[in-house]
Amino acid sequence: MNDKPLRGKTALITGASKGLGRAMALALAEAGAHLALAARNLDQLQQTAAAARHFGVEADVFEADVTDESQVTRLAQAALARFDKIQILINNAGINIRKPLIDFNLAEWRRVLDTSVTGAFLICHAFVPHMKGQGYGRILNLSSTMGHVAIPGRTAYCASKTALLGLTRALALELAPEAITVNAISPGLIGTEMNLPILQNPELKQQFLSRIPLGRMGKVEEIGALARFLCAEAAGYITGTDILIDGGWCAQ
Ligand SMILES: NC(=O)c1ccc[n+]([C@@H]2O[C@H](COP(=O)([O-])OP(=O)(O)OC[C@H]3O[C@@H](n4cnc5c(N)ncnc54)[C@H](OP(=O)(O)O)[C@@H]3O)[C@@H](O)[C@H]2O)c1
């Protein structure tokens, strides 16, 4: 078995400063990929890059807010100048605001959708032209179980994650002739900062755990392993789809 299936490839990962983005960065680095790491927090990005370099790959950091078109344009220019070619895009940056719809203001609603959906659009818009013609490409979009099912108080988040599934399917069809696959990953509950409101509330955490057939939260490394597989040559016939990694939440 090839232990460096991504050797010679370069991946751009948004939201790589912590959580799932960092875990996917390290999984891809272990598989041999060079990394362009983007987020707003440069210090945390540097920590991800330093950890990735232990695997002997090149890793560089780029401060960028994915909701801002000019920042994404600058990110693409800088990342392509640094790495020349990028074959893998992971649209991972995302936020969640949890409250009833009537308590949202428009700015909050837009912030959730702009980060997940418009951010993925802007990143693809900036990088896809450079990915064409390479005969190999992978785009992963981080959706969620909340793109498939819902719970109360998640209107913006559910809307954003469902929209990402549509973007994934449509872009997969557009890019299939270029051998660029486009897929989504839909995690269930994973123990990252995004879920602190659940993790820090024992009663709420127990409520969530009781609804997960496997009886536990997912591990960030499990998301990393799935991303690594989907980015590799071995996953070349998977496109336009979505993989739930949720301990069985959506099977109920
Ligand atoms: N954890 C879960 O249980 C879970 C489940 C399903 C789906 N997901 C999805 O997986 C992705 C990662 O989640 P996570 O749990 O790792 O969350 P997290 O720990 O809160 O990390 C979110 C990442 O997104 C970045 N980010 C947020 N807004 C950004 C912006 N405007 N521009 C650039 N980067 C931005 C953050 O970096 P900066 O703050 O440094 O910019 C951070 O690196 C999200 O899309 C989330 O919706 C997570």
Contact by Cβ (8 Å): 33, 6: yes
> Whole domain around residue 39: which residue ranges?
10-244
187: Cβ below 6 Å to ligand 1? yes
| Residue among 176, 157, 166, 9 at smallest CA distance from 97 | 157
Inside any domain, residue 62? yes
The rounded Å distance from CA 232 to ligand 1 centre is: 23
Q: How far is the CA of 213 from the centre of ligand 1 (A)?
A: 25
pLDDT of residue 2: 84
Closest protein CA for atom 19 of ligand 1: 19
Q: Extract the tokens encoding 111.
A: 């912030």
- Domain-embedded: residue 197: yes
**Ligand 1 pocket residue status of 47, Cβ below 6 Å:** no
pLDDT the model gives residue 177: 98
- Number of structural domains, the chain? 1
**Contact (Cβ atoms closer than 8 angstroms) between residue 89 and residue 131:** yes
Residue 73 maps to a domain: yes
pLDDT computed for residue 188 by the predictor: 98
pLDDT tens across 131-172, in order?
999 999 999 999 999 999 999 999 999 999 999 999 999 999
- Residue 252 is assigned to a structural domain of this protein: no
Ligand 1 lined by 92 (C-beta under 6 Å): yes
Residue 167's φ and ψ, nearest 5 degrees, are -60, -40
Q: Kindly state whether residue 163 falls inside one of the protein's structural domains.
A: yes
In-domain check, residue 96:
yes
Segment 9-27 mean pLDDT: 98
- The proportion of the chain whose per-residue pLDDT surpasses 90, expressed as a percent, equals 98
Handedness of CA 30, 36, 41, 46 (dihedral sign): positive
Going from the Cα of 177 to the center of ligand 1, the distance in angstroms, rounded, reads 31
**Residue 84, in any domain of the structure:** yes
Residues in the chain: 252
**Quick one: which of 5, 16, 57 has its CA closest to 38?**
16
Residue 4 lies inside a defined structural domain of this protein: no
Q: What is the pLDDT of residues 163-222, one digit of tens each?
A: 999 999 999 999 999 999 999 999 999 999 999 999 999 999 999 999 999 999 999 999
Contact 114, 94 (CB under 8 A): no
Predicted structure pTM score:
0.98
| CATH code for the domain of 143 | 3.40.50.720
Instruction: Give yes or no for residue 40 CB within 6 A of ligand 1.
Output: yes
* 91-125 pLDDT tens trace: 999 999 999 999 999 999 999 999 999 999 999 99
CA proximity to 97, closest of 164, 161, 148: 161
